[in-house]
Amino acid sequence: MPIAEFAKDAQGATRDFVMIVNEQILNECREARQFVWFVDVTAESRPFNVSNFNVPEAGGNFCSRGGRFGAHSPNENQPPMYAKRLVFVAWFNAGVRAIDIRDPYNPREAGYYIPAMTDKTDKRCVKMPTAPSAASARSRRTTWRSTTAATSTSSIAPTPACTSCS
């Protein structure tokens, strides 16, 4: 991919990258945090890490929320509108993260989506202080937030079942 910073350089203006996503294994931060890594593989025999992406724990008290907190898996489908621009990575109890990768040396969060916890949420995956009533569960909203814009949109959506809790 072309790198704007190196556009005037005699060599290296175009680089090849691979994104590596580690997977968190244990609940509630009982192991080293797992990240997303960006590796320059232009010279296949000499790959090297150029950056990483992490979600700050303090932004949602994710270590004490229950379940796992850390990188999980990327969406490998890259339609043309997202290719070499945005990637989407599941981050367990911190939702889905949209990462702007146009500058792989400085990936940044473009937005995130964290489903609301409801009475349908798998209890192995989260700590719920009190069981919400059916009416309050239906009225909770899930939110997609853009971290680069001042506006956000909301919609009511079911919370998916937890399929890989430990």
User: Is residue 38 assigned to a domain?
Assistant: yes
127 Cβ contact list (under 8 Å, min separation 6): 64, 65, 66
Segment 4-61, tens digit of pLDDT: 888 888 888 899 999 999 988 888 888 888 999 999 999 999 999 999 999 999 888 8
Residue 161 lies in a domain: no
pLDDT higher at 129 or 81: 81
3-state secondary structure of 64: helix
Cα–Cα distance, 163 to 125 (Å, whole number): 9
Q: Pick 143 or 98 by higher pLDDT.
A: 98
Confirm if 116 and 126 have CB atoms less than 8 A apart: no
CA dist list (Å): 25 to 72, 123, 134: 9, 17, 32
Close Cβ partners of 101 (under 8 Å, ≥ 6 residues apart): 19, 38, 84, 85, 86, 87, 107
Nearest to 19 by CA among 68, 55, 73, 64: 73
88, 98 contact by CB (below 8 A): yes
Largest CA distance in the chain: 64
What is the mean predicted confidence (pLDDT) over 71-100? 92
Q: What is the pLDDT of residue 133?
A: 45
94 is a domain residue: yes
What is the domain range of residue 128?
4-155
Q: Is residue 166 domain-resident?
A: no
Per-residue model confidence as pLDDT tens digits over 91-107: 988 999 999 999 999 99
Domain-embedded: residue 162 = no
Q: Which amino acid is at 99?
A: I
Residue 165 in domain: no
53 domain-assigned:
yes
Is 127 part of any domain? Answer: yes
| Strand, coil or helix: 154 | strand
Mean pLDDT of the chain: 78
In total, how many domains does the chain have? Answer: 1
